[in-house]
Amino acid sequence: MDQIEEIFKSVVDAVGQAVTIIKTKPDGTTDEVSPVDVNYIFGSAQYIKDMLDERSKGANAMPVKFPLIALQTPNVITVDSADYQYKTKINLIIACSSKKDWSNEKRMETSFKRILLPIYEKLIEVLLADPRFDWGYGETEFVPHTMSKNFDYGRYGAVTPSGQEVSEPIDAIDIRSLEIKVNNQTCR
């Protein structure tokens, strides 16, 4: 059985290769960046926070920590048909670094329009094009999910269920209940 956590690593890699974002430099000028190194982590909110904190330190420091696509676990899979391996509803977060003193308007322009929304849109495109998934909704293909732009993480801090705050401010898009059917394995 193909593991959704491993499948999503290759999905995130494909998103990074295909997306173009606009990075804002400290002096306020911008650079168009493509391809983009998109960090991928899967696990509980606490694990994701711990990994980001750990990877910020010394020898384990990551060259690129953000932008990030994180697959939140646990993931419940349902095996109920011979037509596909399993189906699941997953939760993702797409995040980038932010500043606590930014206004919502600054967040919208700098984080959401330039980084997060292009990654979100490319993620949906990559998912629809990936033959490992069955979207089987007739002629109109779409990825069922809910999405919200979270402006509060950057201003007030993102926290884990246990109340621990992520070590740096982020802006993020939360994707909930993204419905996926993983196709049966085929001979290659």
- Tens-digit pLDDT profile for residues 77-124: 999 999 899 999 999 999 999 998 999 999 999 999 999 999 999 999
Number of domains the chain contains: 1
b/e code 84-112 from CB counts within 10 Å (16+ = b): bbbbeebbbbbbbebeeebeeeebbebbb
Measure the CA–CA gap between 188 and 182, rounded to whole angstroms. Answer: 16
183 contacts 132 by C-beta, under 8 angstroms: yes
11-55: per-residue pLDDT in tens? 999 999 999 999 988 888 999 999 999 999 999 988 998 888 887
The answer to whether residue 136 is domain-embedded is yes
CATH number at residue 52: 3.30.2000
Provide DSSP, 39-68.
EEEEE-HHHHHHHHHHTTSGGG--S---SE
Residue 61 pLDDT greater than 60, yes or no: no
pLDDT tens for residues 127-176? 999 999 988 765 557 899 999 999 887 777 677 667 777 778 889 999 99
Q: Is residue 188 part of a domain?
A: no
- For residue 187, being part of any structural domain is answered with no
Tokens for 108?
A: 């919208």
Count the Cβ atoms, other than its own, within 10 Å of residue 65.
Answer: 19
